[in-house]
Amino acid sequence: MRWYWGMLLAIALIVAVPIGALWLWGRPRAHLALPTAATPPAEVVRTYARAMNARDFGACKHMGVGDAGDPVADWSTLHGPQILDLKIDGVSRVMSGPKAAKRQYDRGLKRWNEVVEVDTTETLKNFDGTPDPEPGHVFSFVLVRHDASQPWRIYSAGEG
């Protein structure tokens, strides 16, 4: 009977140790302060990149609208995405939602009062731990808010 309890303990350790190690590895390296209403759009993008690199995926999700800030990663993701060599190439003028919706062919922007686009050059290190095949590619973030009393939030992001 003693061997039975020893076997159960061994199996429990074989399961618990890797899961515990994965949890320790996957937890946030730092918790970043979220942008405020006074934070300019370019700094919101920089903060998002720092949060991504620090594995503060909760902050990333909070900085987005809907699924826009969600890196689709959590504590169990061994190699979360990282944004490397981020350079802000330009920030567009603030547009009204209807004007931005027409310009970007996205009707969802109509409900926002202020829309801005932040163009970057970056290298994305993917989930498998390898860098993008084309380091330094152009990536744009569209940020939105209803008025100046609210922080900018990421509405969408993508190449181009």
Could you give the CA distance from residue 114 to residue 32 in angstroms, rounded to a whole number?
A: 25
The tally of domains found in the chain comes to 1
Domain extent, residue 62, equals: 1-159
Edge to edge, the sheet with strand 114-125 lists 82-91, 114-125, 137-145, 153-159
Q: 2-23 pLDDT, tens per residue?
A: 777 777 777 767 776 666 666 6
Could you give the CA distance from residue 98 to residue 80 in angstroms, rounded to a whole number?
A: 35
Q: What is the pLDDT of residue 26?
A: 64
Q: 27-71 pLDDT, tens per residue?
A: 667 788 999 999 999 999 999 999 988 888 889 899 998 877 777
CATH number at residue 52: 3.10.450.50
Could you give the CA distance from residue 56 to residue 134 in angstroms, rounded to a whole number?
A: 25
**What does pTM read for this prediction?**
0.80
Could you give the CA distance from residue 157 to residue 154 in angstroms, rounded to a whole number?
A: 7
